[in-house]
Amino acid sequence: MELPHRHLAFNMLATVDAHECVTIAVRDPHLATLLRDALLEEELESTVNAEPSGTGPVILDADDFIDQETGVVAACREHARAGRPVIALGPRAHGLALLSQEGPSVYIAKPAHPAEIAARTASLMTRSRECRDSSPDTGLPGSRRLRSELERRLREHTDTALCLIDVDRFKAVHDVYDIARANAFICCLGTVLSETVTPGEKNPPFVAHIGGDDFAVICDPDRIRPLTQQIVLNFESRADKLYDKSDAQRGFVAVKNHHQHTMRAALVTLSIGISLSFGSRETLTLAQIIGTAVSMLKVAKNQPGSYVAIDRRPPPALPALANLTGS
C-alpha cells in the first residue's frame, strides 16, 4: 500500500525506539552489582531483579535454576513471547545443549568477566535493533537506520544526495492482482536497489526500505545520474515481467475506480525525488534535507513515466580567497 507523501517525512524522522533496559535477573547480589556497573560503562541502563519491561534483554544465571537446562529454556521461551532476548550465564558443559533447545540468544560460560558480559549484551542489543528495523519483505534497513546514516553524514559534513523512490501506480497492481503479486513488485525494487551496492566499494550507496512502495538511497552527489539510470532501467525491465502476459503486451491494466468505472492504469514506473546537502559549504538540518526530498518527489509524481526531480539550487559559494587569506 502506498504511503501518502505528507506522512513520508514523519516516518523518516520519527523515533520509535522501544524502551530498552537490561534486566539483571541473578540471585547473587555481588554478581548483580558487578554486572550493573559494567553495563553502565557501556552506557546501558539496567535494573536488578525487577519485572522486565519493553524489549530490553534479560541476563539469567543458570545456577539459579534447580534443573538448569529445563529452567533456562522455559524462561527463554517466556521472554521470547515478549520479544526480549536472553543472555544466559552458566557452566560451559551446558552451552551447546541450551543453544540447541530454543534457549538463550547468547550463552556465556562462567567464569566470565563482567566487562565481557556487558560488551556482548551491547552487541546483542545492536543486532536486535537492526533486525527490528529491517523490512521483512526486502531485508533492507528501515527508516531508523536511514535516519542514523543521514545524521552521520551531517556530523561529518559529507556531501550527500538523499533519493526518495516511489512506485507509480502501485495501487493498481494491488487492486488488479493480489497481495503476493504486489509484494513481488516491492521485492523486485528492493533487489534492484541492493544491486547498486558493490561489495568493497568505497562510500557505497546506503539503501533503505521506508515502508510499502517507498524506498530511499543515500549516495554521493556525483553518483546520482548513473545510479538513477541503473535503477530505473533495471526496475522497469524486470517489473514488466511480473504482469500477466496479456497486460504487459497491451501496456496497461484495467482497474475500477471508486465510481466503479473501468480505467486504464499504465505499467509501473518510478518517481525519484532528490535533495542535496553540501556539508562542507552549508549547514542543513535533517528535517530540511528530508523535506526537500519529499517536495522533489511530489514534483516527480506529477510527471509522466519514470522521472527524477532534483533540487537544483546551487550550493553556497565558498568564501573568496581574499577573505581566507585576510588580504
Per-residue pLDDT, 8: 58
Query: How far does CA 74 lie from the centroid of its chain?
Result: 32
Residue owning grid cell 553495563: 39
Residues 233 and 287 in one domain: yes
Residues 104 and 142 in one domain: no
Per-residue pLDDT, 327: 34
Contact between 155 and 210 under an 8 Å Cβ cutoff? The reply is: no
Residues 238 and 164 in one domain: yes
For all residues of the chain together, what is the average pLDDT? 83
Per-residue pLDDT, 323: 39
State if pTM tops 0.85. no
Residues 79 and 186 in one domain: no
CATH number at residue 29: 3.40.50.2300
Residues 166 and 110 in one domain: no
Cis peptide before 85 (omega within 30 of 0): no
Q: pLDDT tens digit string along 39-97? A: 998 888 888 888 876 778 899 888 888 777 788 888 888 888 777 888 888 887 665 55
Q: With a cut of 70, say whether residue 192 has pLDDT above it.
A: yes
Contact between 212 and 190 under an 8 Å Cβ cutoff? The reply is: no
CATH number at residue 256: 3.30.70.270
Residues 147 and 92 in one domain: no
Residues 127 and 197 in one domain: no
* Spatial separation of the C-alpha atoms in residues 269 and 239, rounded to whole Å: 9
Q: pLDDT tens digit string along 12-48? A: 555 444 457 888 988 899 999 999 999 998 888 888 8
- Counting Cβ atoms within 10 Å, is residue 299 exposed (0-12), middle (13-18) or buried (19+)? middle
Residues 93 and 228 in one domain: no
Per-residue pLDDT, 18: 47
User: What residues make up the domain containing 210?
Assistant: 138-310
Cell of 7: 506522512
Q: What percent of the chain has pLDDT over 70?
A: 83
Q: Count structural domains, the chain.
A: 2
Residues 200 and 128 in one domain: no
Count how many residues are written for the chain: 327
* Spatial separation of the C-alpha atoms in residues 19 and 139, rounded to whole Å: 24
Q: pLDDT tens digit string along 300-325? A: 999 999 999 999 766 555 444 443 43
Per-residue pLDDT, 115: 92
